[in-house]
Structure 1
């Protein structure tokens, strides 16, 4: 087991060296330990009656084992315990115990080897001081115990501290990497949301342009066709139709200028607290309300038509020659701006479709104020004129736009032909 936290037996750097300075330090310690053990080996050989060369070689080999302390700390400690009776390996024992305690070796093995090293050091010190100290037996035991504790406990405690510190640093690095990955994912998600918001905004702008241009221009085409038909036969009526065409054109230009003005306006800075609240609300909201937040980002809630302008809208269709009946049920109330705008646009687009596809048909516009909701319905009877009307083009986006508006507010939208050959558009919007 290594002091760098590698598990023994697991593949890793040779000798557990992850940096060049680790190799330099271990080789240096092993060299110093080998010299120390060789010097002490000569003394041991003299006491044991062996040649000095044998003791020197034995000391060199034993001390040099310190070079593998990161890879096999258990083996280094065992060698230190084995040479303890020969009174050699001071540096080997201290560094070996430190390395063992700072590694990821199971604590029960560390405790066992520490106990063995403590006992071996105590026994060697007791045997060597028993005949040298002229004192009682208690003093010898106390001195031996003190030396044994001084040589084994500090390196173990320091090793445990360094091991815990390394594990803490590794945990902090892993946490930092995890946070970096999370931030990267959040950035990617924010970019996806921004792209989604841009797409929603483009769709909304296209829908607004379609509603404004299609309705006004459709009425202008209807009046222009009527003007062409009566220009020579009925000059007063032709003049009236010409004036209506001019009014419609001016209204269309006014609405387009208002929309372009909003698009070109410099956005006001939003306070940080308000921005955080809006972000939290949008993140927690359902997809439908969240889409409306994107829709309302360009055109403010107080800009645009309302239900109070439906009478004028129906009046414009009547002026164009359409037979329109408007029926209102229930007491009106002040609804949210987005609800009134959506209701107005649904009726407007439905009337535009009647001009395009059902010229001469009788149209009924129904508006019902109910508890918690407002409902609108535009129904035309069978077409009494030409099927193509006055040649008004159709892009096929009218019903799609109405459905998107209504569903964006959590409402219900239904459209389809009637049994008598007409067409019906119905929508219900919640107002809570």
Structure 2
């Protein structure tokens, strides 16, 4: 049965069904007092029933001692108290038993039924005692209503207060247990939230490392590739054409300074601890049908503005200065996009030109930019290099991450990225 204190049984430290030692000692003490009361009341019961006094005393002790079971089996205690009520004994057993029953987790219909039985038993005994007292002349009867009034008052006084007090204590105990469970649940939820926050932070750190690596690759690879190309040209013409050698050397210096400036700006942001805008932490891309929607989000975000489409001509001019033949065409009505979209378009063209320098040195290249209704599209295509081994002779290293980075940028904006050889 589920009784008072049952919820805490897992943490019990007392003997048997008691959760604490002092609870066991308290119940044993109550049982002892109840046994003594019933033993005393068993003497007149045995005398009236014509039984030996010892039988009445033993019967009273056994009946009163059942109070020790009030936490484990409160129904049994109440039933015993109802059974010995006609013998006019067990008032304490009735009071404490009803309190324990009302404070337990028993269904309300069972509590009500047993409480009704106790009330009826107490009422009958009170009526009998009142009539006996009136018959003996111990009390003065003021009217016909006196005996019912005394009987009902006595029965209510024995049963109602312990019943109401037990119901209040039981409700309060259940409320405290509910609050404790809710507190434990909240603590578990907070722990889970903290773990998820740590996971998100770790994911954000990984994304930030990837973003920084991608930006460093875009900045360094293009500039350094052009510097290597110019250095190779400088080495080839140093003796034959000093004027062209001086021009190439100046270009190498300019590109080196530009690369250092961009790196310094990037590292400055990291050093200052400023939060990098979320738009740069997302893998960016070259631009499909969802680019326009991404642009509207990007415009609402704060942060530094990177390269844009207006700088594509300058980017192409740097490759031309390195000796590459580049044709650039623009289709559609020129307009401004979100910063993240324009930066993506710029980086994709930049990385594509870098790949031409690395893998198809000297090849004629076509850069096409198209402004369409809901998107912006780029295409970078090169012809076969005039000398197949020209790229390898330059000695440019390749990490194999350029196409991966471009695809991530495009996919991050919901765009479409295609790469590969043509017919």
TM-score (norm 2): 0.88
Q: Tell me, yes or no, if the aligned pair for 1:215 and 1:352 is still in contact at 8 Å.
A: yes
Distance 1:389 1:177 in 2: 69
Distance 2:151 2:126 in 1: 5
Q: Secondary structure at the match of 1:360?
A: coil
> Could you list the per-position Cα deviations for residues 119-152 of structure 1 after superposition, in whole angstroms to 9, with x for gaps in the alignment?
1111111111113124244311121111011111
The Cα shift of 1:252 comes to: 0.8
The Cα shift of 1:338 comes to: 1.1
> Could you list the per-position Cα deviations for residues 211-252 of structure 1 after superposition, in whole angstroms to 9, with x for gaps in the alignment?
111100100110111111111111111111111111111111
Q: Tell me, yes or no, if the aligned pair for 1:80 and 1:93 is still in contact at 8 Å.
A: yes
Which residue of the partner structure matches residue 228 of structure 1? 235
Which residue of the partner structure matches residue 411 of structure 2? 407
Question: Superposition pairs for residues 36-115 of structure 1, below 5 Å?
Answer: 36-115=37-116
| Greater relative contact order, per chain length (Cα 8 Å cut-off, separation 6+) | 2
The Cα shift of 1:3 comes to: 4.2
Which residue of the partner structure matches residue 355 of structure 1? 357
Which residue of the partner structure matches residue 321 of structure 2? 319
> Could you list the per-position Cα deviations for residues 380-432 of structure 1 after superposition, in whole angstroms to 9, with x for gaps in the alignment?
0112123325111111000001111111122111111100xxxxxxxxxxxxx
Which residue of the partner structure matches residue 416 of structure 1? 420
The Cα shift of 1:74 comes to: 0.9
Q: Structure 1 pair 300/378, CA: closer, same or farther in 2 (3 Å)? A: farther
The Cα shift of 1:200 comes to: 0.4
> Could you list the per-position Cα deviations for residues 45-66 of structure 1 after superposition, in whole angstroms to 9, with x for gaps in the alignment?
2333333222222111111110
The Cα shift of 1:261 comes to: 0.7
Distance 1:326 1:174 in 2: 69
Q: Tell me, yes or no, if the aligned pair for 1:5 and 1:104 is still in contact at 8 Å.
A: no
The Cα shift of 1:336 comes to: 1.4
Distance 2:365 2:104 in 1: 87
Distance 2:393 2:223 in 1: 16
Q: Judge which range, 213-222 or 382-391, deviates more.
A: 382-391
Distance 2:303 2:340 in 1: 6
Distance 2:236 2:421 in 1: 31
Q: Secondary structure at the match of 1:413?
A: coil
Distance 1:254 1:335 in 2: 25
The Cα shift of 1:178 comes to: 1.3
**More strand per residue:** 1
The Cα shift of 1:358 comes to: 0.8
Q: Secondary structure at the match of 1:412?
A: coil
Alignment pair present for 1:183 and 2:183: no
Which residue of the partner structure matches residue 278 of structure 1? none
Question: Superposition pairs for residues 6-405 of structure 1, below 5 Å?
Answer: 6=6, 16-133=17-134, 134-135=140-141, 136-267=143-274, 301-387=303-389, 388-405=392-409
Q: Which segments of 5 or more consecutive residues in structure 1 lack a partner in the other structure?
A: 276-287, 420-432
Distance 2:107 2:397 in 1: 82
Q: Secondary structure at the match of 1:343?
A: helix
Q: Judge which range, 88-97 or 32-41, deviates more.
A: 32-41
Instruction: Name the Cα RMSD after superposition.
Output: 2.3
> Could you list the per-position Cα deviations for residues 315-371 of structure 1 after superposition, in whole angstroms to 9, with x for gaps in the alignment?
000000000000011222222111111111000000000001111111000111122
Q: Structure 1 pair 404/63, CA: closer, same or farther in 2 (3 Å)? A: same
Which residue of the partner structure matches residue 284 of structure 1? none
TM-score (norm 1): 0.86
Q: Structure 1 pair 389/408, CA: closer, same or farther in 2 (3 Å)? A: farther
